[in-house]
């Protein structure tokens, strides 16, 4: 074919930029994570000119309570609860909007509106809503929610449940909300789900609309109820969408930074600290670059576990198609 | 025939329980309204509180409506009365200066990449595509530290140009992806016909592809605009001075200098959100298409 040389030449800048800014930078970060570059002294050359220390940065990191288990624990709890909550809300909304709703466009736009906002804006607003002195408590106390809350928390049979939620830091019945380490993570999860569940709805709605009407009609002819059609016909068809949604939400939550930084700064204590915040503090406040690089590599590995199998299967189905 | 309506009415007839059906419809609308409250309550809070005066901040809760439309908080958020306590005004200007060229350049670049990868399929084109796409799936923390060093060496650290360059480069995967999918719907015969007429790679792009690209540019442009405008991590790490910080960083700083003044913080939040909200309101269809194009392949 004519123009092959020109094609590759025109793609050159993008290939070169990716090679340097993505691939070489990752290698660079990995190399830095193996050096003792934990001081304010700037670099002389292109690579960190500090002695190699092997895995010392990683060992130190995993010997630090703040990182292990705390940050990894928070990441796991946040990722799972954020995905479950967003998928539950998003799927429910998609199914509701799929019922030939009057004003569907309006509802859809309301649910999608947070997607247009920055996590910084979301964090600013929700920090006030979950502020125990000015926020949701003030709204709900006049309704007697406080009494209900105390009563629920005092119920003996439910105590194990509250203990588990306390342990997971998502017990939003605690009146301290963002200032109580037993509930602060839950507050961040709600804000994140507020922002992202509309996106999940859009994905599922697009998926539902992509299923042929014949399939539904066939199930109806077979005498299936609307509920059965969703449970046994439509929702199983949404599996590929679900996989995409989980991977995208997982990718977002494993690197979550701005929302938490604005809402809680990782506090109280380290109750909502995440690797991204620890990295930010290590590098840009404490000048512990080697340690920050080690955190970055751990974050990269966590993301890779979620993303690489997905990307692999996507690219494979695409080349087969 | 309207298949959807027919299917529904036949289902209703067969079910033969209009009453129960009516109740379930009511429940559906009730649930939708409940969720609408959940989504709009923060919006109400941010709008209502931004119009409160200093006195109202001290005497009312964040849930109470303002007494009137007072723009004092908006003014304070933009340019604070106290010298040295930064407002978001400069950040707003910085974000415009940085975002507009970044969006334009990354859209054009993505369009060229997408065109080459979908219409000039050389051997290994899929491999190149995968190679470019990978950058979309990494947490940016993994490249942040060398990026800081690199920009420092180029004397671009702490400049709007450095920030724009960063957004352009890390925008390659998504812009290339969306344009590649968009162009794969355009018949390759059009490009081949142009080649027969003597147009080369560039000629076919300019004469055939570019005129058909307007919807693609709208989708990619909105996507890039929203992402770059809303971005925080690069903004807070690649700039060190308020004079070059983007608006998201200024907003975050506002929370520090106006710790107890929720009216000023809410006004700042609204001002920060207005540009992307306008894009969402007026170009919502393309916004959603970009949202789905970035996640669902094809």
Give me the average pLDDT of each 10-residue run along chain B (298 residues): 48 56 88 96 96 91 93 90 73 96 98 94 89 92 95 94 98 94 91 88 92 94 95 95 92 83 94 95 85 61
| Long-range Cβ pairs for the range B6-9 (8 Å, 24+) | B7/A213, B7/A216, B7/A217, B7/A220, B8/A100
Tell me the whole-structure pTM to 2 decimals: 0.92
Contact A118 B273 (CB under 8 A): yes
What pLDDT is stored for residue A308 in this prediction? 84
Question: Are the CB atoms for B274 and B96 separated by under 8 Å?
Answer: no
With CA atoms as reference, report the closest residue to A20 among A39, A40, A46, A41. Answer: A46
**Cα of A300 to nearest chain B Cα, Å:** 6
Domain range A67-286, CATH class: mainly alpha
Q: Is some CB atom of chain A closer than 8 A to the CB atom of B223? A: no
Which candidate from A120, A138, A315 shows the least CB-CB separation from B252? Answer: A120
| Token duo for residue B234 | 């690069």
> Could you report the per-residue pLDDT of A275-311, keeping only the tens digit for each?
999 999 999 999 999 999 999 999 999 999 988 888 7
Distance CA A222, CA A257 (A): 50
Domains of chain B: 3-78 (no CATH), 89-293 (1.10.3720.10)
Q: Is some CB atom of chain A closer than 8 A to the CB atom of B3? A: yes
Contact A111 B280 (CB under 8 A): no
Question: Are the CB atoms for A225 and A206 separated by under 8 Å?
Answer: no
Alpha carbon A122 to its chain centroid, in Å, reads: 14
Contact A125 B266 (CB under 8 A): yes
All residues of chain B having their beta carbon less than 8 Å from the beta carbon of residue A139 are 61, 63
* Total beta-carbon pairs less than 8 A apart between chain A and chain B: 273
All residues of chain A having their beta carbon less than 8 Å from the beta carbon of residue B7 are 213, 216-217, 220
Q: Any idea which residue has 């993303």 for tokens?
A: A307
Pick from B34, B35, B77, B139 the residue to mutate for testing the A interface (most A CBs within 10 Å).
Answer: B139
First-to-final CA distance of chain A: 23
Helix residue ranges, H only, chain B: 3-15, 18-50, 54-59, 72-78, 89-119, 125-133, 141-153, 160-170, 172-183, 188-196, 201-204, 214-230, 233-238, 247-257, 262-282, 284-293
Contact B292 A202 (CB under 8 A): yes
What pLDDT is stored for residue A311 in this prediction? 79
Which candidate from A124, A126, A134 shows the least CB-CB separation from B255? Answer: A124
Q: Is some CB atom of chain A closer than 8 A to the CB atom of B131? A: yes
Pick from A24, A86, A121, A135 the residue to mutate for testing the B interface (most B CBs within 10 Å).
Answer: A121
Q: Is some CB atom of chain A closer than 8 A to the CB atom of B120? A: yes
| Token duo for residue B27 | 């429940």
Task: Please confirm whether the linkage preceding A40 is cis (ω < 30° from 0).
Answer: no
Contact B277 A117 (CB under 8 A): yes
Contact B39 A258 (CB under 8 A): no
Which CA distances in Å does A132 have to A110, A126, A176, A269, B49?
A: 27, 11, 5, 17, 17
Distance CA A172, CA A314 (A): 38
Contact A261 B252 (CB under 8 A): yes
With CA atoms as reference, report the closest residue to B146 among A301, A283, A71. Answer: A283
All residues of chain A having their beta carbon less than 8 Å from the beta carbon of residue B273 are 116-118, 121
All residues of chain B having their beta carbon less than 8 Å from the beta carbon of residue A119 are 230, 232
Contact B269 A125 (CB under 8 A): yes
Pick from B38, B131, B146, B292 the residue to mutate for testing the A interface (most A CBs within 10 Å).
Answer: B146
With CA atoms as reference, report the closest residue to B154 among B93, B172, B167, B163. Answer: B163
Task: Please confirm whether the linkage preceding A285 is cis (ω < 30° from 0).
Answer: no
Which candidate from B45, B117, B142 shows the least CB-CB separation from A125? Answer: B45
Contact A89 B3 (CB under 8 A): no
ipTM for this prediction: 0.93
pLDDT tens across the length of chain A (321 residues):
557 888 889 999 999 999 999 999 999 999 999 999 988 777 777 788 888 999 999 999 999 999 999 999 999 999 999 999 999 999 999 999 999 999 999 999 999 999 999 999 999 999 999 999 888 988 888 888 888 999 999 999 999 999 999 999 999 999 999 999 999 999 999 999 999 999 999 999 999 998 888 888 899 898 888 889 999 989 999 998 999 999 999 999 999 999 999 999 998 999 999 999 999 999 999 999 999 999 999 999 999 998 888 878 877 776 664
Distance CA B235, CA B229 (A): 10
| Token duo for residue A123 | 């964090």
Question: Are the CB atoms for A253 and A83 separated by under 8 Å?
Answer: yes
């Amino acid at each position: 074919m004519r123009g092959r040389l020109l094609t590759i030449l025109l793609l050159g800048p993008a290939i070169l930029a990716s090679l340097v800014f993505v691939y070489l930078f990752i290698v660079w970060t990995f190399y830095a994570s193996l050096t003792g570059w934990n001081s304010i002294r700037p670099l002389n050359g292109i690579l960190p000119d500090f002695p190699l220390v092997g895995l010392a940065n990683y060992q130190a990191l995993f010997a630090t309570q703040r990182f292990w288990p705390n940050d990894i624990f928070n990441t796991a709890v946040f990722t799972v609860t954020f995905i479950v909550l967003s998928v539950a809300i998003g799927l429910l909304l998609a199914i509701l909007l799929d019922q030939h709703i009057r004003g569907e466009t309006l509802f859809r736009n309301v649910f999608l509106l947070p997607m247009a906002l920055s996590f910084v804006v979301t964090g600013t607003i929700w920090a006030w809503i979950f502020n125990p002195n000015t926020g949701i408590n003030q709204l709900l106390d006049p309704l007697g929610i406080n009494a209900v809350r105390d009563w629920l928390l005092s119920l003996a049979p439910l105590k194990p449940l509250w203990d588990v939620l306390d342990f997971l830091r998502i017990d939003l019945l605690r009146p301290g909300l963002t200032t109580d380490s037993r509930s602060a993570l839950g507050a961040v999860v709600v804000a994140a789900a507020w922002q992202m569940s509309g996106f999940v709805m859009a994905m599922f709605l697009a998926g539902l609309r992509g299923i042929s009407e014949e399939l539904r009609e066939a199930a109806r002819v077979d005498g299936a109820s609307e509920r059965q059609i969703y449970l046994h016909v439509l929702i199983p068809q949404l599996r590929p969408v679900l996989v995409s949604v989980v991977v995208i939400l997982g990718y977002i939550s494993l690197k979550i930074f701005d929302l938490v930084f604005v809402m809680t700064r990782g506090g109280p204590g380290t109750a909502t600290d995440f690797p991204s915040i620890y990295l930010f503090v290590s590098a840009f406040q404490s000048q512990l670059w080697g340690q920050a690089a080690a955190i970055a590599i751990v974050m990269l590995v966590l993301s890779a576990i979620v993303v690489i199998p997905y990307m692999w299967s996507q690219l494979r189905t695409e080349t087969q198609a | 025939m309207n298949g959807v309506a027919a299917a529904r009415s036949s289902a209703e007839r067969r079910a033969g329980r209009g009453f129960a059906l009516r109740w379930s419809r009511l429940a559906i609308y009730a649930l939708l309204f409940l969720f609408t409250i959940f989504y709009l309550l923060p919006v109400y809070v941010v709008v209502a509180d931004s119009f409160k005066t200093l006195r109202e901040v001290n005497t009312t809760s964040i849930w109470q409506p303002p007494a009137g439309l007072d723009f004092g908080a908006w003014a304070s958020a933009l340019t604070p009365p106290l010298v040295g306590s930064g407002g978001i005004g400069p950040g707003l200007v910085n974000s415009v200066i940085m975002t507009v060229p970044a969006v334009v350049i990354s859209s054009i670049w993505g369009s060229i990449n997408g065109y080459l990868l979908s219409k000039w399929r050389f051997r290994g084109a899929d491999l190149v595509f995968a190679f470019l796409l990978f950058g979309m799936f990494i947490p940016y923390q993994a490249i942040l530290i060398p990026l800081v060093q690199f920009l420092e060496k180029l004397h671009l650290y702490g400049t709007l140009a450095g920030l724009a360059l960063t957004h352009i480069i890390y925008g390659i995967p998504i812009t290339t992806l969306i344009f590649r999918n968009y162009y794969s719907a355009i018949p390759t015969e059009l490009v081949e016909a142009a080649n027969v007429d003597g147009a080369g790679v560039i000629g076919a792009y300019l004469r055939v592809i570019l005129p058909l690209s307007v919807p693609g540019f709208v989708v990619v442009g909105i996507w890039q605009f929203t992402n770059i405008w809303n971005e925080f991590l690069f903004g807070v790490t690649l700039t060190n001075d308020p004079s070059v910080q983007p608006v998201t960083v200024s907003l975050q700083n506002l929370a520090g200098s106006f710790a107890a003044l929720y009216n000023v913080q809410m006004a700042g939040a609204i001002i920060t959100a207005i540009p992307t909200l306008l894009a969402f309101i007026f170009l919502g269809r393309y916004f959603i298409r970009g949202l789905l194009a970035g996640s669902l392949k094809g």
